[in-house]
Chains A and B, each alone.
Chain A
Amino acid sequence: MTSVERFDERARLKAERVGRDVVHRGELLRHPVYTRVLHWLVAIAFVLSLLSGFALYSPWLFRFLTPVFGGGPMARFLHPWFGLFFDIFFLFQFLNWLTPMLWAETDTRWLKRIKQYTTNEDKIEPAEVGFFNGGQKLYFWAIVLSGVLFLLTGLLMWFDHLVGRWVIAVSYVIHDLAALLMLAGFIVHIYEGTAAMPGTFHAMTNGTVTERWAWTHHPAWYRVVTDRDPREAYERERRRQAERERAIEDLKREQDAREGARESLPDDRAL
């Protein structure tokens, strides 16, 4: 165990002691406090890096984005620091998530049916999809790759007096490519985490998801944490829902009948 991992573990334990997870009935704990805090630290550092970086990325963005950071020189001064913090925070998230993010056979199969996934053809994910699906793992490894490229090329451009002009010129392009890769993943990530999959954002704020969410999007994980079959759980829920609907219909019909009977009675006051 490296010293960084030891530190990571200590930080995790401390975060768990300080933070609180409230799990209601019908919910599952998906992300503990440590993961959530790390996620948002990485997210804040990333958004700041992205905005300050895009201020310098293109002449068409310079005038829009530099004022956000107090002008061009300030944006240029802050950007490497934002980036450095992004990389440091992400290192901990990397250690935290390395095991569940390891690529498996099932992820390759998941990627092959990406079309069915994006068109919502399958309402429920295949039973083999675990804690993270192939897409999430792909994004994770894209961040790892970009993070390394950002750091290497960023340091070269930060300490540009130590290297030749062609090294800077090449770093400049690689830094941009890494940023565009990250931006593409980021757009999809935010969309999938909010509007595309209701209930997902809750996992990063309160840490919990509903059981329904779990067996729909990550059935294999549902099986691990509940020791129940996700498909059966879903079918049972469906039957319950149908029964509930039937009961409501019966109740309504009963009420309608009662109201109908009352209306047909002669109105005393009219006489």
Chain B
Amino acid sequence: MGEMNNHISLLWSFGSFGFSISINISPLRGCDRDTLSEAGMSNPRTFQIQEISAHPGPVPGQGTRREEEVCKYIDVTTCIGCKACEVACVEWNDHPFRETTFDDTYQTMPSTKWNYWNLIKFAEDERNGNLMWLMRKDQCMHCEDPGCLRACPADGAIIKYENGIVDFQQENCIGCGYCISGCPFDIPKFNEKTKKVYKCTLCSDRVGQGLEPACIKACPTGCLHFGTKSDMVQIAGLRAKQLREVSGFANAGVYDPSSIKGTHVIYTLHDIDTPERYGLPRNPVIPPSYTYWKWLAKPTGLLLAGLGLLAVFFHRVSVGPKLPQPEDPPVITEYPDQIRAKRKEQP
């Protein structure tokens, strides 16, 4: 492989016919993440063997597909609330431990912060007259249809990768905070000092290097899993089935809300009918302001404004101005019939 460059990359492949040049003009100038150049450089299928000379039998691995969508799966039923994931998140992202508010619970702080992306929420609930402690790891859900991205007015401030990770690019963020109101999970947080918004990256830097997110790595009970979306959905489904059939949680299910086309962080919950008990919205939605209004009504408004400009211009051309009356007679040097006669003379 040649030198990696953000803008132009040369791709040599001896296996195929000659060489091919792929020009990859990245809209994210200044972004030097390996994951980005990787996406343009080595598509997983590029070096998959297609044909082999003098090889008897089929090509090994032919027809294999690589699944690109990643997913974090959180089994809240086996979470013990140790907060190792919180610490791992703070460590990996090099955040200093921040001040907290004690609110008579085990929770580290009331909600996630701009530099505290991973928080276990402790909810005290009841089951059969007994206390039931619900612990849910709260972080960005990496929605398939991200409300933050829909709401953002700044070119290149929020991107979503092919693998489903939604990532903020602070160098392009203008700090308007629309993403905060676009998010159904109250995840993006504003930093008053830098005037930018931050949130969990799903450790896109680690994932780009083939590593699992830091929180996954730290989990001691194995309640956190990371893999492809379909694998995680399958495991989560199996666990939910086990909870229903073996553990007596008749309503156990997988939280992967379809109203935002699914998320890249999914949960198994003891009771899928009442996700509110875990602080999760039953039906997360993006406000229509950032969907129909922004992408349909706004361009229409612009079009109408353009037509309005054209309308006044052509009004001037066709109808003409309203002159103070009586108008001064126009200064005519030659009369129309004379002009016409002249035109006939010089064809």
Contacts and interface: CB of A to CB of B under 8 A. Distances in A.
A147 B189 CA distance: 30
Which are the 10 A-B pairs with shortest beta-carbon distances?
Answer: A169-B287, A72-B174, A168-B181, A212-B324, A165-B181, A191-B312, A169-B289, A76-B174, A213-B324, A238-B326
Contacts of B329: 241, 245
A72 B298 contact: no
B305 A187 contact: yes
B302 A60 contact: yes
13 contacts: A57-B302, A58-B298, A72-B155, A120-B320, A160-B181, A168-B180, A169-B288, A170-B287, A172-B178, A172-B293, A187-B312, A198-B321, A198-B324
A104 interface: no
A234 interface: yes
Contact of A161 (B190, B290, B302): B190
B44 interface: no
A76 B179 CA distance: 14
A176 B324 contact: no
B183 interface: yes
A156 B173 CA distance: 20
Given A62-B155, A216-B322, A56 B176 contact: yes
A56 B178 CA distance: 11
B319 A197 contact: no
Measured as residues with beta carbon below 8 angstroms from the partner, the interface class of chain B is 35 or more
A197 B154 contact: no
Contacts of B60: none
A94 B333 CA distance: 49
A59 B155 contact: yes
Contacts of B173: 73
Which of B186, B190, B322 counts the most A-chain CB atoms under 10 A from its CB? B322
B317 to A, nearest CB: 10
Which of B154, B304, B312, B328 counts the most A-chain CB atoms under 10 A from its CB? B154
A210 B153 contact: no
A28 to B, nearest CB: 12
A214 to B, nearest CB: 8
B172 interface: yes
B285 to A, nearest CB: 10
A196 interface: yes
Given A63-B155, A123-B325, A188 B312 contact: yes
Contacts of B155: 59, 62-63, 72
Interface of A: 56-63, 66, 71-73, 75-77, 118-120, 123-124, 157, 160-161, 165-166, 168-170, 172-173, 176, 180, 183-184, 187-188, 191, 195-199, 210, 212-213, 215-217, 234, 237-238, 241, 245
Which of A62, A157, A180 counts the most B-chain CB atoms under 10 A from its CB? A180
Interface string B169-207: 000111111101111001000100001000000000000
B150 to A, nearest CB: 11
A160 to B, nearest CB: 5
A172 B292 CA distance: 13
Given A76-B174, A196-B321, 5 more contacts: A57-B153, A58-B294, A76-B175, A123-B325, A176-B301
Nearest to A165: B181
A195 B293 contact: no
Given A58-B299, A118-B319, A241 B326 contact: yes
B316 interface: yes
Contact of A176 (B180, B182, B298): B298
B315 interface: yes
A184 B305 contact: yes
Given A75-B174, A168-B178, A173 B324 contact: no
B181 to A, nearest CB: 4
Contacts of A234: 325-326
A157 B178 CA distance: 9
Nearest to A215: B325
A191 B287 CA distance: 37
A195 B325 contact: no
B312 A120 contact: no
A161 B157 CA distance: 20
A173 B298 CA distance: 9
B306 to A, nearest CB: 10
